[in-house]
């Protein structure tokens, strides 16, 4: 099964709609509640990152019998130093993002915590690709 969701940069009223759809699909598939929670928390963090930092992006979700693989690819400023971005507390978020309750520099570390595998690559002024893999069993 494969699904693709579009993510609009800057539109906070829609932030979370893609993750919400994935949650509904995983529930319908009777995936364990703890695995659903870990997965959708990672996806939501990633989705908020796209809304907060990029122009637009896509969330491509592939569901296999034993795992879920999600790629979040955006067009945006990219991340110049990924190691730095992975540090807890490091953030380049705007005041607007902080007003929404985010931008504390905890997104990427929390995605790592809530996923079985996480791969990230980025090109400055092009965009960022994030892959999250969670095993369903």
Distances (CA, A) of 62 to 12, 57, 71, 136: 25, 16, 9, 12
Phi, psi torsion values for 50, nearest 5 degrees: -65, -50
Cβ nearer to another protein, comparing 20 with 94: 20
Query: How does DSSP classify residue 80?
Result: S
Applying CB under 8 A, the span of 2-10, 43-51, 66-74, 78-86 interacting with another protein comes to 43-51
107 binds another protein (CB under 8 A): yes
First to last CA, the chain: 17
* Secondary element (H or E) of residue 19: helix 17-28
Tokens of 111: 């995605």
The site that binds another protein (CB under 8 A) totals a number of residues, namely 26
Applying CB under 8 A, the span of 2-10, 73-81, 99-107, 123-131 interacting with another protein comes to 99-107
Applying CB under 8 A, the span of 18-26, 58-66, 77-85, 123-131 interacting with another protein comes to 18-26
Cβ nearer to another protein, comparing 27 with 84: 27
Return d(Cα 109, Cα 41) in angstroms, integer.
12
Residues that bind another protein (CB under 8 A): 12-13, 15-16, 19-20, 23, 33-34, 37-38, 40-41, 43-45, 48, 100-104, 106-107, 110, 113
């Amino acid at each position: 099964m494969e699904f693709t969701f579009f993510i609009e940069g800057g539109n906070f009223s829609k932030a979370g709609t893609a993750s919400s759809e994935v949650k509904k699909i995983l529930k319908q598939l009777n995936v364990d509640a703890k695995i659903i929670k870990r997965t959708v928390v990672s996806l939501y963090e990633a989705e908020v990152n796209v809304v907060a930092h990029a122009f637009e992006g896509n969330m491509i979700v592939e569901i296999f019998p034993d795992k879920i693989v999600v790629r979040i690819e955006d067009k945006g400023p990219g991340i110049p130093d990924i190691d730095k971005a992975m540090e807890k507390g490091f953030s380049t978020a705007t005041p607007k993002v902080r007003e929404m309750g985010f931008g504390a520099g905890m997104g990427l570390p929390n995605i790592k915590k809530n996923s079985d595998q996480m791969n990230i690559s980025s090109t400055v002024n092009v965009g960022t690709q994030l892959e999250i893999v969670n095993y369903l069993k």
